């Protein structure tokens, strides 16, 4: 190989090597290899006097060009390598990393769906504490002292001194109804509120029970509010939630804090009430409790029961979400398995 070929080959080798260099140390090694005292380029230039005269000029010219080329490449590379050593090298041509986007929990989605049935009818959203006074969870709601849910094993009592002993012990609220009391203590009628929130009951976990679940409570109080208003509001809401053809049924029931009281059922969408395999031959599915606010509840908050009327209702969010999504196990909501949660869009 003659000297000119050797210079060409050196240029090719150096270009490839500089292209891959990533650290200042590597760059220094390349400097020594291509420009150092023992480099092939130095040897070629040093051996110029021994070359035949007709080659000398050309080899000298090419050799010096290569030297300049190597020195400028080295200087340029020094800057990029220095910058690269401060921040990790980024290859802008690679596809980006997908950022995992979260979504609302199905229970939150259903809560929002329920609430947005009520807000167009003038209901405001309020919330109350999950740790509640015994007086609000029970007494003010006309729940008698000997009611089983006031027993230690039928309610989660909180083992802390009550900040207001006159309102009794602290409990994890067993329903959202105490927020009715809190609202009426602070506001005068007319009022319309819906109250989403967590409630707690010492139920063992099974496909339809959980020690924690969610309710949406509702309360409307005005000078004249009738059971017809209650029916009208709830029928409309259930049609919005489950479809315009939904059939509803009001079944007499008992709650201490409402009189009269009812449970509301919707007809199974598959058989419309006659019973089929989808509804386990039941025909109707229980959706919520409701009734006209009991006079004793009005008295407890300082309202005159002869001057105002109201209705209240409370529904289980999990129940409704399970019907909407055709789920059969409440525990799925709380296991936080992404394979389950990712199936709920938005
Ligand atoms: N608090 C009742 C429950 O948890 C539901 C309800 C609310 C009933 C309001 C009537 C009126 O079962």
Residue positions counted in the chain? 346
Beta carbon of 197 within 6 Å of any ligand 1 atom? no
Ligand 1 atom having least distance to the Cα of 199: 4
Given a contact cutoff of 8 angstroms between Cβ atoms, the answer to whether 181 and 196 are in contact is no
Distance between CA 122 and CA 151 in Å, rounded?
Answer: 38
Distance between CA 67 and CA 41 in Å, rounded?
Answer: 8
Band (56; pLDDT cuts 50, 70, 90): confident
In this structure, the residue with its CA closest to atom 10 of ligand 1 is 290
pLDDT at position 154: 93
pLDDT at position 86: 61
In this structure, the residue with its CA closest to atom 7 of ligand 1 is 314
pLDDT at position 21: 83
pTM exceeds cut of 0.85? no
Per-residue pLDDT tens digits for 77-99: 888 777 666 666 778 888 888 88
> Mean per-residue pLDDT for 145-153?
90
> Mean per-residue pLDDT for 38-64?
87
Per-residue pLDDT tens digits for 163-200: 999 999 999 999 999 999 999 999 999 999 999 999 99
Beta carbon of 173 within 6 Å of any ligand 1 atom? no
**Residue 298, pLDDT above cutoff 80:** yes
Ligand 1 atom having least distance to the Cα of 176: 1
Given a contact cutoff of 8 angstroms between Cβ atoms, the answer to whether 216 and 321 are in contact is no
- In percent, the amount of the chain with pLDDT more than 90 equals 64
pLDDT at position 87: 62
Band (145; pLDDT cuts 50, 70, 90): very high
């Amino acid at each position: 190989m003659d000297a000119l070929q050797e210079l060409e080959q050196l240029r090719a080798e150096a270009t490839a090597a500089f292209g891959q260099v990533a650290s200042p140390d590597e760059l220094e090694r390349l400097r020594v290899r291509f420009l150092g005292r023992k480099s092939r380029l130095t040897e070629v230039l040093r051996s110029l006097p021994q070359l035949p005269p007709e080659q000398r000029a050309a080899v000298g010219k090419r050799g010096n060009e290569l030297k300049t080329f190597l020195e400028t490449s080295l200087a340029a590379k020094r800057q990029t390598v220095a910058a690269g050593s401060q921040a990790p090298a980024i290859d802008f041509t690679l596809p980006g990393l997908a950022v995992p986007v979260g979504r609302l929990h199905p229970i939150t989605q259903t809560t929002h769906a329920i609430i947005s049935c009520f807000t167009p009818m003038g209901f405001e959203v309020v919330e109350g504490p999950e740790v509640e006074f015994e007086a609000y969870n029970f007494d003010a709601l006309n729940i008698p002292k000997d009611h089983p849910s006031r027993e230690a094993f039928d309610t989660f009592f909180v083992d802390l001194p009550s900040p207001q002993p006159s309102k009794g012990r602290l409990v994890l609220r067993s329903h959202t109804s105490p927020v009715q009391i809190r609202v009426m203590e602070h506001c005068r009628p007319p009022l319309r509120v819906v109250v989403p929130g967590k409630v707690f009951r010492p139920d063992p976990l099974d496909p339809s029970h959980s020690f924690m679940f969610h309710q949406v409570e509702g309360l409307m109080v005005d000078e004249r509010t009738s059971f017809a208003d209650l029916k009208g509001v709830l029928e409309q809401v259930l049609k919005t939630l489950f479809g315009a053809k939904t059939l509803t049924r009001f079944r007499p029931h008992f709650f201490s804090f409402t009189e009269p009281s009812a449970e509301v059922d919707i007809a199974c969408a598959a058989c419309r009430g006659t019973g089929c395999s989808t509804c386990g031959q039941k025909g109707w599915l229980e959706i919520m409790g409701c009734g006209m606010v009991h006079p004793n509840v009005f008295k407890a908050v300082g309202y005159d029961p002869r001057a105002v009327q109201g209705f209240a209702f409370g529904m289980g969010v999990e129940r409704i979400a399970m019907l909407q999504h055709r789920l059969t196990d409440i525990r799925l909501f709380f296991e936080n398995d992404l394979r389950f949660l990712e199936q709920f869009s938005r």
